[in-house]
Amino acid sequence: MAVALGNDAAGAAGMTISCFSMSPRSLSVEEAHQLLSSMMPAPLDIEAVALHCALERVLACDIVSPINVPAYTNSAMDGYAMAWQQGNYRFRLVGVALAGHGFAGPLNPGECVRVTTGAPLPEGADTVVMREQVELNGNDVIVLAPEKVVPGQNVRQAGEDICQGQTALTQGTRLKPQHLGLAASLGMAVLKVYSRPRVALFSSGDEVRAPGTPLAEAQIYDTNRFALHGLLTKLGAEVIDLGILPDQEGKIRDALQAASTQADMIITSGGVSVGEADWIKTVLCELGDIGLWRIALRPGRPLAFGHIGSVPFFGLPGNPVAVMVTFIQFVQPMLRHMMGQRDWYPQRFMAIADEPMHSRRERIDYHRGIFRCDEQGQLHVRTTGAQGSNILTSMVRANCLIEIDEHHEQVAVGERVTIQPFGELT
C-alpha cells in the first residue's frame, strides 16, 4: 500500500510514503515535522466540563466576558475614600463602606468614608488615602502628607482587568490554574473543551517483562510503557494501557487491529528497526498506510508513522531515551493539535556550553543536559555524561535537551548551543 502525500515536505524529501520503502536519504527533523503537519487529524469532539475539571484541557471556543472585571469601582486599600480636592487635607467622616457592603448615598465635597480593600467606592469619591497616612481628630480625617496624594490613587476602576464584551480567553488555550481563576471571575461554572485523546499504548519485544514480575535470563523490564504513560498523562491524554506485545506477527496484528477500534491514537515502542524480530512494520503494512522514516536525529532515528484505519499510529524506537525524545519532538505536537491547542511551540533558549560536545553533520543530536544560570544571568549547559539511547539515567539527571543542529560536528567550550528546557512534560 502506498500513500502519495503530494505535499511540499514529501516532495522536498524526494519521497512517497509507502509501506517501509526507505526514503533515499534520512528525513531532516524539519521535514519530518512538515510531513506530520500535513497529516494532522482534525481536533477531537467538544464537551462541556465543570470548571474544576478543566485544568490542562483545551478551550474549544472564545470566552467573551459577560461582565466588567472588576464589576464595580472599588478600593485597593484599607483607608478613607473621598473626592480629592487639591489644597484640602481635612475631610469629615460620614460613614463606612466594607467589602460586600457599600455606602448608601453620594459623598459631598469635603466628606469621606472609611473603606476596606474591595469595598465599592461611594458615588462622588475618586481617591483612597491609606489608613496609615491619616490622623483622626474627632469626626475629622486629617491627611498627613496631602502633597504626596495623587488624585485617583488606590482605586481599581470597573472593567480595568476585563471589559464586558471583551474576549477574555481564546479558543485553543490550554487551561492553566490562572485561566481557571479568570473564567471563574467571569462567573463561568462550565467550559467547553476538546475531548481528551484516548491513546492505546503497547510495548513490544519477547524480552520485555512487566515490573513486579521476576526476570529470567535475557529479559528486561518494560521501561517505555511507564515513561510514555507519564508523558501522555501529563499531556492530558487518556491512556489505554494494552501491555506488552510478543514478537509474533499474529498477536501483533490482532492487538493493533483491536486497538484501532477504541483509540484516537496508537503508540508502540520497539520493533521498528530492521531486525528479524521487528514485526511491527510487517503487520502495519497489512493493516494500514504506514511509512518507516529514517529521521536524521539521535537518539530516535527509526520512526514508523501512519494510520490503522483512520487512527494515527506512531511506532517509536525501542531504546528508552529515544522513545522519550521522539515522543517529545513528534508525538507531542500531534496530540496537542488533536486536543485543539493552538500556537504551541517547544521552548528554546541559547546557553553557553561548559564542556565540548560532539555531534555529526546532517543530523540533529539531542544530548541530555543540565543548564544553570550564572550570577550575570547567562545560561550555561553541560551534558549529563554518557549519552547512549538506552541510558535513561541521562533523562533523570537532565533538566533540558541540548539541540546540536545539522551544521555542527562539535561544540567547543564557550560556544552557544540551543537548549529545550524540560517543561510541562518532563
Residues 188-247 that bind Mg ion (CB under 5 A): 205
State the nearest-atom distance from the C-beta of 290 to ligand AMP, in Å. Answer: 16
DSSP state of 9: H
Report d(CA 321, CA 304) in Å as an integer. 17
Q: Which of 274/350 has CB closer to ligand AMP?
A: 274
Q: β-strands 410-411, 357-358: how paired? A: antiparallel
DSSP state of 13: T
State the nearest-atom distance from the C-beta of 313 to ligand AMP, in Å. Answer: 16
Report d(CA 372, CA 382) in Å as an integer. 9
Q: Which residue is nearest to ligand AMP (CB)?
A: 318
Report d(CA 64, CA 73) in Å as an integer. 21
31 binds, among ligand AMP, Mg ion, none (CB under 5 to 8 A by kind): none
257 binds, among Mg ion, ligand AMP, none (CB under 5 to 8 A by kind): none
Give the contacts of 101 (CB within 8 A, at least 6 positions apart). 119
State the nearest-atom distance from the C-beta of 315 to ligand AMP, in Å. Answer: 9
Q: Which of 303/419 has CB closer to ligand AMP?
A: 303
Q: Which of 391/404 has CB closer to ligand AMP?
A: 391
Q: Which of 120/205 has CB closer to Mg ion?
A: 205
State the nearest-atom distance from the C-beta of 368 to Mg ion, in Å. Answer: 23
12 φψ region: left (φ > 0), alpha (ψ -120 to 50), beta (else): alpha
Is 271 near Mg ion (CB under 5 A)? yes
Q: Which of 74/389 has CB closer to ligand AMP?
A: 389
The binding site for ligand AMP (CB under 6 A) comprises 203, 205, 207-208, 220, 222-225, 269-273, 275, 317-320
Q: How far is CA 99 from CA 35, 113, 176, in A?
A: 57, 13, 28
Is 302 near Mg ion (CB under 5 A)? no
Is 270 near Mg ion (CB under 5 A)? yes
Is 317 near Mg ion (CB under 5 A)? no
Q: Which of 319/394 has CB closer to ligand AMP?
A: 319
Q: How far is CA 89 from CA 131, 140, 146, 251, in A?
A: 14, 10, 6, 87
Report d(CA 237, CA 337) in Å as an integer. 12
Q: Stretches 117-125, 271-279, 362-370, 396-404: which one binds Mg ion (CB under 5 A)?
A: 271-279
What SS3 state is found at 330? helix
Length of the chain: 426
Q: Which of 159/318 has CB closer to ligand AMP?
A: 318
List interacting residues with Mg ion (CB under 5 A): 205, 270-271
